[in-house]
A and B are shown apart, each in its own frame.
Chain A
């Protein structure tokens, strides 16, 4: 077999591996704890909803919570016992949060519920396999914990490459390493299940070259399977999903794409093993292999622990020296987070617990000034300029930080690791990312409010326009139809004639009333062309009266000819309509003008409100009287029109 090419990963660091401590012994199982606290949200996505009640007896492997959501996974009882509590409990989380959990008091019998698997995965349809993976509650065990069934459900996207991530580049962690050493064949079966679902063209298992025993085991197990074990250089962070893809395929996943969109899917070794357990043995994900390491532990190693086991229990059985322990880390030392309590349950994604002494992981030295040495940029695996991002973060130049691709930062911590000034760079970036998100949310909100306001204004304007257009249309109908009626005199049209006359009469009456109103307003506002307006109103009123008379006459007469005659004379009234509409517009203009004046006045009043209170003699202190009097003058000047008005 020709050796697969390995592409170079830019940057990266070589921290002390510290893996030997936890590889001294095979995977151990832990004594059953008295109680399990099973977190219901231990992955990305929505929390599972309990489907058991307090006091209920559950078997090992029994479904205790499920969720209808696509991106979620059900939860099973890791051992048999009685449900004693369903509610919030502190969980393993970067910000010590409480999340819904189900507490089970174990009966110690560890009685399995009936379960059945089948080694004949190839005989099952892909959808069935996906359903079974989902039903087994399997999530990505590498860290982020994305529900595996959702990840494998590619909805038609062709997957060319399936990558199994056995890089395990973080120091201390050895779960994948020891799984590959001890259960290589099972892992390969799990991989074949995944391959059966995805039907990829190529399957690679990427393993760092520091895991020689695991490589040997996996190479033996994959003989004649078409699965290729690719040995990659030991370099942190080669195990990052996008980094491993680059190393194994030479391709980069476009920054704004999901990984699956580029035809690649990465699965973790532990996930492959739990898929094997679920499909072949029918066992849901109720336990996992976790590395317990650190100098504060007497017997570090890998344990197969039930989900929900209090980590206190695990650390105790690994010989925790409570005097020596200085910090406890979940995950690896590069990307893990510290815990301030051990009263937390093990979750599906907890791949490592490090109980470190003070000497092992001392508190960070005080931060010095950045000298822009550029070591951080040299080791950055995604080719950022961490030194620039740091300055932008410090000065809160969020747009520049965003422009320098801060959201491409994978927070691997390589920059902070090499920084000679001991600057906690990752922390700065997290904070800046948070600030940018907050700002974007704010902007979205204010943008939304602005749009709402603008839309409202546009709507009001539209309504106003519609009204005017409607009126105009009505007037036009009358004027257009009127001449036509003149020519089509017939008995059949009589009724229509009368109807039209009715409309004409009503319109002119309405116009007259409107014009009168406008006139009154204009008088109140002392508009300039009052006389002409008055005349117009009078003509309008006359027209309206005329139209009414015509209508009455038409209704009285029954012969078409008379009706026609009436209609003809009515026409003279309606013919005045164009003129009337002009008047109408003039009146509307006058009204608008009046409204404007009013608004301006209102504005002047609000802006002067402080001054006016000052101006109020009762409220003005004697020593400000002079100022007040001058203000009054000013206010009076600005309020001049309103005075005139009243």
Chain B
């Protein structure tokens, strides 16, 4: 009879980081599916490339850092990062964009900080910002929502892998791609057109917002609700983010509806839902107290609105999230909850003088 000495608790729930990450991957499927349905096979291929590169990078770094490779690969965090990045990239972005972005996300965004759990910034968004600044043309060439049939799977594949070298491919991509509805609204407003006029042009013939985009956002919304239902993410961040974004959009629309888009348009355009449910909620880089989550989400929503409306970038989720990532330690420090038996929360006070 040999007995082991162990610390309490002696039983653990059947719970695992890997399982949580698998649920996240699963929850991206509705969004990925609608993206594919409206914008072709590109996003799917991007996600695949990113996932492969992410796993490869992870293996190499873990090996260099002398960590048990299989043990860490099992947490699926690299796959989640890769898929989130793949979903944010334009469908026909060249293969090397996905590769560079993913490698940047894993190597710089994650492992330079010490690996999973230690990174300050959301790795996928760090890579997205990096790519947007480095390769603005490729990163802003979106396809119109022309359905799955506009380009076949094989052709998409060829375009992604050839477009840097083959003039015909480049010409084809140039002919196909254009700005996203969100981007066009911003640039057309810059030409002092009114919103009703802008909406009358082609990319805006959706039911609520831009064609295709509204359904992609609804897809991510569904996936996000699944994550909340499963208890993988907390509801405060997405709700705060969406509420703030909608409130500001509503206020400005009330001020001048010719120049400021509606809350529905903001909620269902660009990366709003992907950002609200999958990116802002990345637990490692998000605020961790309940009040902190509200503040964190609300400020991301506000920042998204400001950058979208007054800034110079096509979408704002990445920058808003990165900006607030920086504020997380401070937010957490000042939003401690009230502990049992204490009159009030400490809110950063009560540190002992030593």
Digit string of A340-358 for contact with B (CB within 8 Å is 1, else 0)? Answer: 1110000000000010100
Which one of B10, B20, B340 lies within 8 Å of A408 (CB-CB)?
B340
Within 8 A of B (CB), among A307-365: 322-323, 325-329, 333-342, 354, 356, 361, 363-365
| B134 on the A face (CB < 8 A) | no
Q: What chain B residues lie within 8 Å of A477 (beta carbons)?
A: none
Whether the Cβ atoms of A403 and B350 lie closer than 8 Å is yes
Smallest CB gap from A436: residue in B: B352
| A374 on the B face (CB < 8 A) | yes
Is chain B's binding surface mostly helix, strand, loop or mixed? loop
Q: How far is the CB of B2 from chain A (nearest CB, A)?
A: 8
Smallest CB gap from B10: residue in A: A333
| A121 on the B face (CB < 8 A) | no
Whether the Cβ atoms of B11 and A371 lie closer than 8 Å is no
Q: What chain A residues lie within 8 Å of B6 (beta carbons)?
A: 327, 338, 363-364
| B15 on the A face (CB < 8 A) | yes
One of B111-119, B262-270, B297-305, B309-317 at the interface: B111-119
| A288 on the B face (CB < 8 A) | no
| A400 on the B face (CB < 8 A) | yes
Smallest CB gap from B236: residue in A: A374
For the complex, give the distance between the alpha carbons of A424 and B336 in Å.
Answer: 22
Q: What chain A residues lie within 8 Å of B259 (beta carbons)?
A: none
For the complex, give the distance between the alpha carbons of A403 and B338 in Å.
Answer: 12
Digit string of B1-36 for contact with A (CB within 8 Å is 1, else 0)? Answer: 101111111111101110110000000000000000
A-B contact count (CB 8 A): 168
| B289 on the A face (CB < 8 A) | yes
Digit string of A2-44 for contact with B (CB within 8 Å is 1, else 0)? Answer: 0000000010010110000000000000000000000000000
For the complex, give the distance between the alpha carbons of A309 and B169 in Å.
Answer: 85
**Contacts A246-B340, A373-B283, A405-B339 given: A322-B11 contact, CB under 8 Å?**
no
Digit string of A355-384 for contact with B (CB within 8 Å is 1, else 0)? Answer: 010000101111011111111010001111
Whether the Cβ atoms of B283 and A385 lie closer than 8 Å is no
Q: How far is the CB of B72 from chain A (nearest CB, A)?
A: 8
| B75 on the A face (CB < 8 A) | yes
| B71 on the A face (CB < 8 A) | yes
Whether the Cβ atoms of B15 and A399 lie closer than 8 Å is no
Whether the Cβ atoms of A405 and B8 lie closer than 8 Å is no
One of A250-258, A468-476, A596-604 at the interface: A250-258
Which one of A257, A325, A426 lies within 8 Å of B9 (CB-CB)?
A426
| B354 on the A face (CB < 8 A) | yes
Whether the Cβ atoms of B3 and A338 lie closer than 8 Å is yes
**Contacts A369-B115, A388-B332 given: A381-B340 contact, CB under 8 Å?**
yes
Q: How far is the CB of B266 from chain A (nearest CB, A)?
A: 28
Whether the Cβ atoms of B8 and A413 lie closer than 8 Å is yes
Digit string of A421-433 for contact with B (CB within 8 Å is 1, else 0)? Answer: 1101011001000
Whether the Cβ atoms of B8 and A408 lie closer than 8 Å is no
Q: How far is the CB of B75 from chain A (nearest CB, A)?
A: 6
For the complex, give the distance between the alpha carbons of A417 and B12 in Å.
Answer: 5
Whether the Cβ atoms of B12 and A334 lie closer than 8 Å is no
Q: What chain B residues lie within 8 Å of A342 (beta carbons)?
A: 1
Q: What chain B residues lie within 8 Å of A252 (beta carbons)?
A: 340-341
Q: What chain A residues lie within 8 Å of B234 (beta carbons)?
A: 374
Whether the Cβ atoms of A364 and B12 lie closer than 8 Å is yes
Which one of A15, A377, A424 lies within 8 Å of B11 (CB-CB)?
A15
Whether the Cβ atoms of A383 and B340 lie closer than 8 Å is yes
Which one of B10, B16, B339 lies within 8 Å of A420 (CB-CB)?
B16
Whether the Cβ atoms of A426 and B7 lie closer than 8 Å is yes
Most buried by A among B4, B19, B354: B4
Whether the Cβ atoms of A371 and B284 lie closer than 8 Å is yes
| B66 on the A face (CB < 8 A) | no
Q: How far is the CB of A13 from chain B (nearest CB, A)?
A: 7
| A387 on the B face (CB < 8 A) | yes
**Contacts A373-B20, A424-B7 given: A385-B289 contact, CB under 8 Å?**
yes
For the complex, give the distance between the alpha carbons of A374 and B3 in Å.
Answer: 33
Whether the Cβ atoms of A420 and B9 lie closer than 8 Å is no
Which one of A336, A383, A421 lies within 8 Å of B337 (CB-CB)?
A383
Whether the Cβ atoms of A366 and B10 lie closer than 8 Å is no
Whether the Cβ atoms of B283 and A372 lie closer than 8 Å is yes
Which one of B118, B284, B341, B351 lies within 8 Å of A242 (CB-CB)?
B341
Known: A242-B340, A368-B17, A383-B337. 4 other contacts (CB 8 A): A255-B339, A257-B341, A371-B77, A421-B17
What are 22 A-B residue pairs whose CB atoms fall within 8 Å in the complex? A242-B340, A254-B341, A326-B3, A326-B4, A327-B3, A336-B8, A337-B7, A369-B115, A369-B118, A371-B77, A374-B283, A377-B288, A382-B339, A383-B337, A383-B338, A385-B289, A385-B337, A388-B336, A402-B352, A403-B346, A416-B8, A421-B17
Sorted from nearest, which 8 A-B pairs have the closest CB atoms? A369-B117, A413-B9, A255-B341, A382-B340, A333-B10, A427-B7, A322-B1, A405-B339
Chain A residues in the interface with B (C-beta under 8 A) = 10, 13, 15-16, 171, 242, 246, 252-257, 322-323, 325-329, 333-342, 354, 356, 361, 363-366, 368-375, 377, 381-385, 387-388, 399-400, 402-405, 408, 411, 413, 416-422, 424, 426-427, 430, 443
